[in-house]
Structure 1
């Protein structure tokens, strides 16, 4: 029997859905925290007197730490109440963002970013299966989609909104706002979630086992690495790219909000396709992202044309979280927690490596080089999945 079938449900469906919304708010706060510096690299770099490549470490550090913490936290917590673990992790991310807002040096910011990485990896890995414990069986798929909508919304709306706040009130205000959001999420977790005892635990041995025994999991991890690394090689430095194209600082937040709105459309479009055309949707994502980056690189942009190209980019990336998560869950239906842990680890490691490689390219070659590197990487995902069944 599954966890959903064995769990005694003393709470009502309404309370279950309130708990789902609390988890969704938490994962939105965490993912927004991880990616917030993307839109604020230039003002933070100027304030801290560091290069854009060095400022990119604010994305590299939490991504790398999250990649390590996802399996570590999942195994280490054993049979601890999941509500307690999630509350501690989201509270930690709120405190870390407030510390960044008041930091007097870049070293303090990096320590805070390390703590955010711990929270993101552990929280996301647990959130993947938490819907099984909160709602009736026939609502599980919908609840899981809502929870991972928090990842999607953070990716395509959280960063632009944070950028706009930073443009209007300064980068410290943006960090403080996300810190407060983390504390609000903590309160929601405490008051809206029931106690959630796990039905099973995983061990470190389960992780390589599911990787070895499922070819589709291996393909999913490979495509995640290529697409997410390629995206963040370029997207981490989208602000300097836009500035070099002559887009005014005051318009960058607006342009990124347009990116966010288009990303939400990409999410819904993918949701309508993946049930029947999962493999084709993954291939389409690679082609769309590569095309957008190449056009961005060769076009002498103004604000309007840059926004138009970013709409295409966002349609591709907006489809990523729901499509890739669906692939991973379908690839290992008998080991969803272990497969999800590997996926979360690969996703966040790719964010870290993308920001790191992009920073090296920006400092050593040119800002525009990240568009060519990123486009080449995402396009490589097409042959990886092209011969596999979705």
Structure 2
């Protein structure tokens, strides 16, 4: 696939950069092997990010520090991911995108290897920063790279495949990490994650084509993207959706125990079902996006809002509550896919910068949603959390319907 020539589109209106917009050429054929190699990369990155959640106690005991301090390994990863998501497009604008993606996979391997042999918590935290750099950069580029691997009509499906790695990691990372930690220790678990990174690197070396840089992204490009007509209000809608979800998700366990009335064994099974529904939702969203981006953007928060309000207010019985939890997982599976596609359609000439802003928005919403959920939980328990969050999700759907632009993929000549 040639990547040295860029298609151009004229200005679309006020607030956009002067002159023609440079957009990567649409490939003549699909490179699905490359798409799947990126999905494996996302799976490896998210698995590594989630591992401390299942290994916190043995890691703290071995390093001689508190669990709270080891828990900061999650915080530094998230902060590094935010910064990397913002800066990757501008700092690597002259580098072949294949090299950049391979570099992030190398960082994943190095991070896991050095965490596995860390003698103290400072080394651990520094290596988790490396993971955050890889995670944020990889995520910010995913949808933009998909545009260069498959024809425009298939981009939603390709993005869904790539982001299915998130759903699979959500399903397997914590229970697998816990199992391997009990079997052979937490250090061996991170060595296994590094081995997965090596497999991913080999796959990507063979699968990813050369993708010469085409953009002119600078730090000022981020402001330019935010000023594009309709982009800012779209980001606001995306933030509301994610804040609503993460306020809910932070308190999923007490909800399942106190509302759905499940025991410990049933809790694990229901969380697994939530993860499987999330995976299915990711793939379904790829198909739905080919029909209508606006429908997908709107339907996901509507279904999550209905599930939240049902869990909070309806006497649905255990079977009904389980169905609502599965519906919630199914709907959230489409959120990342839909908004990543939206960003690339809104700003096809600066898709990587737009992806970086999406990463920052999502990471901010995780923190904001968890904090808001904590306040609501203190006021009125899980019922208040789910009621208010359900209203926020439905309000976000209304904002999307009324104000958020949902452009089609633009055909390139």
- Asked if Structure 1 and Structure 2 have the same fold, meaning a TM-score greater than 0.5 normalized by the shorter chain, the answer is yes
The answer to whether residue 331 in structure 2 is matched with residue 319 in structure 1 is no
- Asked if structure 1 preserves the Cα contact closer than 8 Å seen for 2:171 and 2:276, the reply is no
The answer to whether residue 169 in structure 2 is matched with residue 158 in structure 1 is yes
Moved more, 379-388 or 27-36: 27-36
The one of 226, 233, 252 aligned to 1:219? 233
Provide the secondary structure at the position in 1 that maps to 2:399: helix
Q: What are the within-5 Å matches in structure 2 for residues 95-174 of structure 1?
A: 95-100=110-115, 110-134=125-149, 139-142=151-154, 145-151=157-163, 153-170=164-181, 172=186
Q: Which residue of 2 aligns with 1:191?
A: 206
Provide the secondary structure at the position in 2 that maps to 1:180: helix
| Greater Cα radius of gyration, structure 1 or 2 | 2
Structure 1 4/203 Cα, relative in aligned 2: closer, same or farther at 3 Å? closer
Q: CA deviation at 1:185?
A: 1.4
Q: What's the TM-score once normalised by structure 2's chain length?
A: 0.75
Q: Which residue of 1 aligns with 2:18?
A: none
Q: CA deviation at 1:240?
A: 5.1
For the residues of structure 1 that align with 2:147 and 2:364, how far apart are their CA atoms? 27
Paired residues in the alignment total: 377
The one of 293, 312, 330 aligned to 2:308? 293
Q: Which residue of 2 aligns with 1:336?
A: 351
Structure 2 residue ranges without an equivalent (≥5): 1-5, 8-22, 407-413
For the residues of structure 2 that align with 1:307 and 1:103, how far apart are their CA atoms? 41
Structure 1 residue ranges without an equivalent (≥5): none
For the residues of structure 2 that align with 1:271 and 1:257, how far apart are their CA atoms? 22
The one of 231, 248, 268 aligned to 1:234? 248
The answer to whether residue 361 in structure 2 is matched with residue 350 in structure 1 is no
Q: CA deviation at 1:218?
A: 1.5
TM-align CA RMSD: 3.8
Moved more, 225-234 or 58-67: 58-67
- Asked if structure 1 preserves the Cα contact closer than 8 Å seen for 2:49 and 2:77, the reply is yes
Q: What's the TM-score once normalised by structure 1's chain length?
A: 0.79
Q: CA deviation at 1:198?
A: 0.9
For the residues of structure 2 that align with 1:296 and 1:174, how far apart are their CA atoms? 36
1:244-276 alpha-carbon deviations (Å, 9 max, x no partner): 565444444432221122223323443444445
- Asked if structure 2 preserves the Cα contact closer than 8 Å seen for 1:44 and 1:55, the reply is no
Structure 1 299/166 Cα, relative in aligned 2: closer, same or farther at 3 Å? farther
For the residues of structure 2 that align with 1:105 and 1:298, how far apart are their CA atoms? 48
Q: Would you tell me which structure has more helix in proportion to its own residues? A: 1
